[in-house]
Structure 1
């Protein structure tokens, strides 16, 4: 099993008392850095002066970047050249950010009118780096060649992102390892199972008039008071034989916060803070849906026994409000199923699961499989990489070889598994993750294991916009799974991305940047404040709920960000200061799994336990906060 992230570091020297404790937070209604107040034209950032030079010149590099304070989960120092100014990109095509003119922190410049990545339009004079334009001789991206086909097209950055291989927050550095292992397993499976086929349940369809429930995107509720209190802490179980153990899965309803543990699922009464129930399971939870239905149902894949060698072959559906396991079935063709490459999700009262060697879907109400697949796709064939849920059931499908994959993103008919909508991911992309199923937004990696771009796709199955993440200027929180991006939120108008942590006026900080979903252009930003880091959590009506991580000596905060007011913030809840240490530990870990906010309450949780955990790190499975 994967190792847990390292314990938090000591607080940076010289921290001052938290400026947010004495007053409510409000985001600056001023135009975003890099945007002129009147015209929106590119300009200097608010907190940093751009290097001297004429517009369009490459900024001069200072001798040293600003010193970054330490702290758990803080990204490494930016490269020399000034924060927000991407360095000269290596020879690369897709995924390499265009060289910007002198501009503000964190804002990729808009390509010339009428052009953009993936659009076969007439290039402007002189081309445009990274947007599919014709280049000058010797430049990557020669006309007539697809992305990633020229020698030296891929960026040469080492895999793993700023957090190291496999660490949360930057696209899962162990993706290539998983791909290699998956390829080997698939090759073995191909010997014993020939062909890749889809089997549909004959004669069994959803009953006419059967209730359809969507999945919870989080339920609302403004806390009754801005002063928060600790509702509960769930102690972590002690490990015996294992050095590490996965405890994936956490859900919140209006009444219950439910968290997976080693031998089942614990339900906490969110109002009283007391344990309401516990569901015992046959073995460890191997995979869990991030979604639950509006009436509180979700699904998990469970190992058949508690042995470390047990197969992950049991599908189970539970009722979170009632604390009951509704049914459990052995998944077909799952004799070799392990957590490696396993994924599952829920949409439209259907749960779909994928593992190396097969996939299956069931109605949440029970019964036999609606559809299933088994075996290996074979050379040049296609197979599911994984599923994503929400309003639509999505699949990422890989065709061809692992070294040169051709990826498709599909909307599936949940009853049949057949695709009724398909987007061909541009060549040169190694992996794709579904950020949102409605509207369709995906995060992709090209030439590196880190996430390089976020793309929005229209109902016409065509690319609408591409948001280049530059040299790790933004942190979408993506790992290796198809539905693993934990720090991106989408509505009908914007894609909300947190910037990477960088030096502010006196300490490190970051912002949420709102990108127009149709054009990919940045529109406004909402600041975390000094010594804070802010991440988007989910939408509540027309407001964005965001979480400000705690400082060394002050608790975290929940704020509502108003898109109509250019990112102005309203403080919803301030967590108690004496919970800051535990909150810091869990807040760092939840780069893999997003915080949950439901009915005016905030829940933090972790997904990996370690026998070697020290201090309070790993001491708790989860913690809940609500209004006093």
Structure 2
């Protein structure tokens, strides 16, 4: 179907940057027109982050402007990021003040009087979700006379795109003058008794951990920033993007194993890697500040080799804004404002591709057990969001969930089971929804008034602080005052009902965040305190959240583990083969922010 016309005086998303040079129509189209069409990422106007909570390490600095692949809106919560701004008062599913009692912070025992289904978690038997009294409030700008309507004051998505374009142009000019540091300067930390670190395994060989290595950030000039998006781990290698390249660290010896030079800056990177250690990135075609981000490349992480590189379609456009990519079912899919494309991880010609102009457009992809997409259909003034599981070979939807009316944004948390985070009347995530195989809503967990920190930013695959298994959705509560210092908990919500079942405390002075599921247990990271290193714990769902210490980092690593020393903690840790890796995607030497001294730090058992 064709794309509805935009409001008067506003360009279509599919408009070519040069009206006299329209984009070339691709010769490979999806079989279902409109099922996957490219679009701007979420249409969110960049916002200034809230001031981080006082006290303790781990609260990030104000993020510098833009950069390839860097979200324009800071994460709401997440690993050290400030909590989100509260949603507008009222509206369906927004909780009242939490009750007192022995349940603890963020863990309601029973709803307050009169709160009904509006408190904390909801399931709505017998009532059409998103209809009548239960519908979400209409997003600002989507009502009659609003900014998104004809005769309004302009479209918010267009404004967001223009703002993002300005930020990225500035970042491109800045990044374009950087050079890769010839002296890698990586610091390997060897055990003096063995010469190597632990042999790995799901559980570390010892609870006493040590620092394996540090990867120093490239040298920057004053007031410069750079995006270094992308980090992956296999059983043997931790790989981290740097300026115009990727560095691979041997996880056993702590030494640099390899370094791959790329044609230009990494513009986007898939969070996932395949079971056999393949990762995918999009790079600029040259190191020039004016280079287009149109090169897809796949890397073998264990061997340190670039397996293939292809020029993506629609290369006449900048291919920069709204960029997102994901790996699922051994296929890598990429989206930008203006189109999308998918390749086999083994390379070759595109499996499918699309351009703007249909009735539906891709908001972005998510990977893992499935290849998924968030798709927006309809007009600017009345958008309709869908979450789809894709046939990776064709791009067609073989499973689809219609997001309730009034939801402005949707982010995919988990592909199997399907869990999404939505923004109701707001770009900020306000609720977490669990979806059944029957493509229907099972439960809704309201995030409330800054009670939880899902770690969501603007991207479709950006909720980094939520972990899911077949039984529970694990959410960290916001940091709050404990007996003597600030602390928080992980709350386990039943995936079928949305009700809270148990909580696992961080302990005084600590903040705990979920990392991943492993062998039926939730791996979690306790952030460092002022004078003590971080900790890795395994949380047992079968024992109501009982914790087992997996690894205690040395106390002298506390400074390196937090933003004042080297790592911003804005990105989630990676736990692989008994080792924990911290990393960051933005480095800066601006006078107003902390300079990220390290690209990544690795920890293993003594």
Report whether the alignment pairs 1:375 with 2:356.
Answer: yes
- Gaps (5+ residues) in structure 1? 14-71, 80-88, 124-130, 133-140, 155-175, 187-218
Matches within 5 A, 1:106-121: 106-107=106-107, 119=124, 121=126
TM alignment of 1:317-336, pairs within 5 A: 317-336=298-317
TM-score w.r.t. length of structure 1: 0.71
Higher alpha-carbon deviation: 401-410 or 524-533: 401-410
- CA-to-aligned-CA distance 1:335-356 (integer Å, 9 cap, x gap): 3244321000001110000000
Report the number of matched residues: 488
Partner of 2:235: 254
Question: So what's the TM-score if we normalise by structure 2?
Answer: 0.74
The 3-state SS of whatever aligns with 2:561 is: helix
Displacement of 1:615 after TM fit? 9.7
Counterparts in 2 of 1:182 and 1:77: CA distance versus 1, 3 Å:
closer
The root-mean-square deviation of aligned C-alpha atoms, in Å, is 3.5
Q: CA deviation at 1:92?
A: 3.5
The 2-side partners of 1:425 and 1:615 are apart by 38
Q: What is the alpha-carbon distance in structure 2 between the residues aligned to residue 342 and residue 615 of structure 1?
A: 26
Match of residue 466 from structure 2: 488
Aligned partner of 1:147 in structure 2 is: 136
**For residue 43 of structure 1, what is the aligned residue in structure 2?**
none
**Residue 221 of structure 2 corresponds to residue 221 of structure 1:** no
Give the Å deviation of 1:96: 2.2
* Paired residues for 1:61-100 under 5 Å: 73=80, 75=82, 91-97=89-95
Paired residue for 1:427? Answer: 405
- Farther off after superposition, 581-590 or 591-600: 581-590
Q: What residue is the counterpart of 1:601 in the other structure?
A: 579
Other structure's SS at 1:390 match:
coil
Shift of 1:152: 12
Which residue matches 1:438?
416
1:138-537 maps to which residues of 2 (within 5 A)? 143=133, 146-149=135-138, 180-182=159-161, 221-240=202-221, 243-377=224-358, 381-537=359-515
2:139–2:425 CA contact under 8 A, matched in 1: no
- After superposition, residues 32-43 of structure 1 pair within 5 angstroms as none
8 Å Cα contact 1:178-1:340 kept in structure 2: no
Shift in Å at residue 571 of structure 1? 0.4
1:559-574 superposed matches below 5 A? 559-574=537-552
Report the 3-state secondary structure (helix = DSSP H, G, I; strand = E; otherwise coil) of the residue aligned with 1:530: coil
What is the CA deviation profile of residues 83-109 of structure 1, one whole-angstrom value per residue up to 9, with x for unaligned ones?
xxxxxx955324522566655431355
Q: Which has the higher contact order (CA 8 A, sep 6+)?
A: 2
Secondary structure of residue in 2 paired with 1:328: strand
- Structure 1 pair 185/568, CA: closer, same or farther in 2 (3 Å)? closer
Contact 2:49 2:82 in 1 (8 A): no
Please name the residue that 1:36 is paired with. Answer: none
State which drifts further: 575-584 or 609-618.
609-618
CA distance in 2, matches of 1:554, 1:419: 49
Change (3 A) 1:522 1:384: same
Instruction: Classify 1:277/1:151 alpha carbon distance in 2 versus 1 (closer, same or farther; 3 Å).
Output: closer
Give the deviation of 1:418 after TM superposition.
Answer: 0.1
Q: Is the 8 A contact 1:384 1:398 kept in 2?
A: yes
User: Any conservation in 1 of the 2:83–2:450 contact (CA below 8 Å)?
Assistant: no
Q: CA deviation at 1:147?
A: 2.9
Whole-angstrom CA distance in 2 between matches of 1:150 and 1:626: 47
Distance 1:11 1:552, change over 3 A: farther
Aligned partners of 1:613 and 1:554: how far apart in 2? 28
Contact 1:94/1:428 (CA < 8 Å) preserved in 2?
A: no
Structure 2: runs of 5 or more not aligned:
1-45, 58-78, 144-154, 166-199
The answer (yes or no) to whether the contact 1:289–1:346 under 8 Å persists in 2 is yes
SS at match of 2:343: strand
